[in-house]
Chains A and B, each alone.
Chain A
Amino acid sequence: MASVFERPVGRRHLLQLAGGVAAASTLAACGGSSSGGGDGRLKVIGAGSQEAGLRKALTEYKAKNADFDFNLSFSPADQLQTALRAQLAAGNAPDLHAVYPGNGSAMSMVQLSKAKLLADLSDQAWTQKIPTGFKGAYQQDGKTFIFSPGTSVLGAIYNKKAFATAGVQPPTTWSELLTVCEALKKKGIVPLALGAQTPWVTQLINYALVPGTVYAKQPDFDDKMAAGSATFASSGWADAMNKYLELQKRGFFNDNPNGTTYEQATSMVGTGKAAMAVQVSAVLQAYRAAAPSPDDLGMFPFPATDTVADNWIPGGIVVGLAVSAKSKKADQARKFIEFCAQPDVVGAWAEAVACVPLYAEGQAKVDPVLKPFLPYLADNRAVPFMDQRWPNAEVQPTHFAVVQELLGGKTTVDGALKEMDEAYRKST
């Protein structure tokens, strides 16, 4: 029998062939989705803030496992929400990908595990070592879904030379903070750099103040919010937001914070044009890169009240890694997670991204700049970043927007908090 290619091809037959090829291509395209790609390498998408630690762990693991290879890329926070969610929706997510701990974001562990998109890691031995206070960040319904190397703290990153010029020391109370800011302002130094045009930066001052104005007095505030017996508007959140505005009214921020970006604020502190910025320790490396010498910068807990004992700190588990439930290389990915969870790897990763390791064998190796925060963690005077216990992904962006409106004079503290309460009460 002659093959189709040996026969003269008429117009009708040509169309039949073209249609067949098109249909075959389409079917192949629709049915051939495979998680992680087909080149044998583990596909990994990490959060930009974790690059130093994750790259180090992957390189080390590859050196120890000759048959292992990876395809690594990173996404800034906003792109995690879009590109990665689109891949998850299409069923072709990378084998290992970044996931936010706890709840409160569309890319958070709770939201994605509810959608059955994350592999259960509970059978790995390291999950037994997760401290009780942090279980909510890693676990949903008793199952562990992410690995994260530890805790990032939030406080003031400050320029030591700027402080020396004004002859001031890191403050320990709210009144002292105002005095320090006044002294810096008199010397022509911007006391606090604020890049509120970058949405996630807007929340940081409130996050630094709320542990003192809310959680030190009501440690169960999150539970009361969940039960409906507390609101943002009637809590210490109002005190925190008023203090935020007081800093603006006293002229302690750079001009036009709503038009200033995170990068510009980073540069201001690095160069000494500004003295401080309220930030997470995970971005210390970026601030150090902006300074003439890394030793120019220090960090201290940002005081919220005049009672030292009430000045708690925010400390949140940093962005974690999860194994895609649909990954065809899930076993390989899980083995890598197990490797990452070894105490020495956890320590090296945590050190690379300036966070406090989840656990350690003996004395944990911590960036010296973070030492002022360690007693707070040891004394249980640290609370997770607030959004990690918010019930839906709408509260946090609402918080960003209302802070920008407050700084722009377009709303009041009461109006802002009522809007956050409305977002909180929306369905999960």
Chain B
Amino acid sequence: MTATVAPPPESVRRNAVRGKKGRGGIAPPWFFAVPALLVYALVMLYPSIVGAGSAFTDWSGVGEQRSFVGLANFKQLIHDDQALGALRNTLFLTVAIVVVQNGLGLLLALGVHTTIKSRMLLRVIFFAPVVVSPVMVSFLWKYVYNPAPDAGLNAALGAVGLGSLRQDWLGNPSLAIWSVAFTVIWQCAGYSMVIFLAGLEGVPPELHESAMVDGAGTVARFRHITWPLLAPAVTINVMLSTVGGLTLFTQIIAMTNGGPGYATDTLSTVLYKQAFVFGKFGYSTAVALVLAVFVAAVSFIQIGYLRSRETAA
């Protein structure tokens, strides 16, 4: 038996076509975006463009006196040992944060994506540091890193018979950057965990079941099923932690102020000091512009690579 279906009325077909255009609805008129664009232009574009202009002047940050200096600030940046040292520190921190924070976040996500009874409590505990202000976390860890033998981490090491491992965690120029990196990772690993957890929730369980029937072990299932399907979560986590690492500021200012010496200075702390401590707003803006372009370039390259990986998966 053959069933015949009458064609839909013209108005329905027209709406269906429009719906395709608007991804499931009526396409809104373009000028609906105007108020939002105006606000964006006013609070973002205009100040950014005016600010960027300062990079080509010798403005001190206060007063009206300023002269156009062309590319002098950018030339100075190339020969600035302090800025180059800060760039090295920035890259070190970024790599450490991206690798360790995401590695740890993935392990935590795999750990709490199980059937153990306390998984919900553990998720809350691991995520809790994320909702605390970075300044609060920095001051908390500054206390933990107290160099006195009877305080903080050193006291804990002493109590378990590891007194020989006591350190001047923030005062030793060779160790301070590791201490800062650890604090950032401690705070943000829970954030990566939540994103990976969302990815893990989207992996169909029947894939694992059929692989188990085929005799695949835990490692093989992770490698061939979980990891490829986590590609979107990896993209987001790597992107966010890279941008966070490249622009790291709060924890450093609160914990070490870039010291001892210049041991923990990053590009963000250098541009802050140039503007507000040295009174060189023009040069500071040049550093900020270079940082912005650098972050954008790294992000575009990264997202291009990670998106291609997602497609391949």
Hey, which bits of chain A sit against chain B, CB under 8 A?
A: 15, 18-19, 22, 26, 81-82, 85-86, 88-89, 106, 111-112, 114-117, 196-197, 199, 255-261, 264, 392-394, 397, 400-402, 404-405, 407-411
In the assembled complex, how far is the CB of residue B19 from the closest CB belonging to chain A, in whole angstroms? 22
Q: A106-B279, A197-B171, A258-B173 are in contact. List 8 more A-B contacts (CB 8 A).
A: A81-B277, A89-B61, A111-B62, A111-B279, A112-B62, A114-B65, A116-B64, A256-B171
In the assembled complex, how far is the CB of residue A116 from the closest CB belonging to chain B, in whole angstroms? 6
Tell me the bound Cα distance from A402 to B262 in angstroms: 9
CB neighbours (8 Å) of A409 from chain B are: 173
- Supply 24 A–B pairs (Cβ within 8 Å), ascending by A: A19-B35, A26-B42, A81-B277, A85-B61, A88-B62, A89-B61, A106-B277, A111-B60, A111-B62, A111-B279, A197-B260, A255-B168, A256-B172, A258-B168, A258-B171, A259-B170, A260-B171, A261-B142, A264-B148, A401-B262, A402-B261, A404-B259, A404-B260, A404-B261
> Which one, B62, B173, B263, B278, contacts A394 given CB within 8 A?
B278
* Closest chain A residue, CB of each to CB of B59: A89
> Which one, B39, B63, B147, B149, contacts A114 given CB within 8 A?
B63
* Closest chain A residue, CB of each to CB of B63: A115
B168 touches A259 (CB 8 A): yes
Tell me the bound Cα distance from A119 to B35 in angstroms: 42
CB neighbours (8 Å) of B172 from chain A are: 256, 258-259, 408
In the assembled complex, how far is the CB of residue A164 from the closest CB belonging to chain B, in whole angstroms? 25
B65 touches A85 (CB 8 A): no
> Which one, A81, A116, A264, contacts B63 given CB within 8 A?
A116
Check: B141 CB closer than 8 A to any chain A CB.
no
A397 touches B273 (CB 8 A): yes
Tell me the bound Cα distance from A26 to B38 in angstroms: 11
B60 touches A199 (CB 8 A): no
In the assembled complex, how far is the CB of residue A298 from the closest CB belonging to chain B, in whole angstroms? 25
Most B-side CB within 10 Å, residue of A88, A117, A402, A405? A405
A117 touches B171 (CB 8 A): no
How many CB-defined contacts (below 8 Å) exist between A and B?
Answer: 120
With A257-B171, A408-B172 as known contacts, state yes or no: A18 contacts B35, CB within 8 Å: yes
CB neighbours (8 Å) of A393 from chain B are: 277-279
Q: Mark B157-170, 1 if CB is under 8 A from A, else 0.
A: 00000000000111
Interface residues of B in 255-278 (CB under 8 A from A): 256-257, 259-263, 272-273, 276-278
Interface residues of B in 1-58 (CB under 8 A from A): 31, 34-35, 38-39, 42
In the assembled complex, how far is the CB of residue A10 from the closest CB belonging to chain B, in whole angstroms? 14
B261 touches A410 (CB 8 A): yes
CB neighbours (8 Å) of B170 from chain A are: 197, 258-259
* Closest chain A residue, CB of each to CB of B262: A401
Check: B145 CB closer than 8 A to any chain A CB.
yes
Interface of chain B, helix or strand or loop or mixed? Answer: loop
* Closest chain A residue, CB of each to CB of B281: A89
CB neighbours (8 Å) of A18 from chain B are: 35
CB neighbours (8 Å) of A26 from chain B are: 42
B260 touches A258 (CB 8 A): yes
B261 touches A22 (CB 8 A): no
Interface residues of B in 274-289 (CB under 8 A from A): 276-279, 281
Tell me the bound Cα distance from A401 to B149 in angstroms: 25
Query: 8 tightest CB-CB pairs across the interface, nearest first?
Result: A115-B63, A259-B171, A258-B171, A106-B279, A256-B147, A405-B261, A259-B147, A256-B168
Tell me the bound Cα distance from A406 to B64 in angstroms: 39
Tell me the bound Cα distance from A392 to B58 in angstroms: 14
> Which one, B65, B145, B169, B260, contacts A407 given CB within 8 A?
B260
CB neighbours (8 Å) of A411 from chain B are: 261
CB neighbours (8 Å) of B263 from chain A are: 408, 410
A199 touches B171 (CB 8 A): no
In the assembled complex, how far is the CB of residue B155 from the closest CB belonging to chain A, in whole angstroms? 14
A85 touches B62 (CB 8 A): yes
A106 touches B276 (CB 8 A): yes
A405 touches B171 (CB 8 A): no
In the assembled complex, how far is the CB of residue A176 from the closest CB belonging to chain B, in whole angstroms? 29
B63 touches A117 (CB 8 A): yes
With A82-B276, A106-B276, A394-B278 as known contacts, state yes or no: A259 contacts B169, CB within 8 Å: yes
Most A-side CB within 10 Å, residue of B38, B172, B261? B261
A397 touches B261 (CB 8 A): no
B147 touches A255 (CB 8 A): yes
CB neighbours (8 Å) of A85 from chain B are: 61-62, 276, 279
With A111-B279, A197-B171, A255-B148 as known contacts, state yes or no: A15 contacts B31, CB within 8 Å: yes
Tell me the bound Cα distance from A394 to B142 in angstroms: 27
CB neighbours (8 Å) of B148 from chain A are: 255-256, 260, 264
* Closest chain B residue, CB of each to CB of A423: B278
B60 touches A115 (CB 8 A): yes
CB neighbours (8 Å) of A117 from chain B are: 62-63
* Closest chain B residue, CB of each to CB of A199: B257
Tell me the bound Cα distance from A408 to B259 in angstroms: 10
Tell me the bound Cα distance from A15 to B42 in angstroms: 18
* Closest chain A residue, CB of each to CB of B29: A11
CB neighbours (8 Å) of A402 from chain B are: 261
* Closest chain A residue, CB of each to CB of B179: A259
A408 touches B173 (CB 8 A): yes
CB neighbours (8 Å) of A89 from chain B are: 61-62, 281
CB neighbours (8 Å) of B145 from chain A are: 259
* Closest chain B residue, CB of each to CB of A113: B63
Tell me the bound Cα distance from A241 to B33 in angstroms: 63
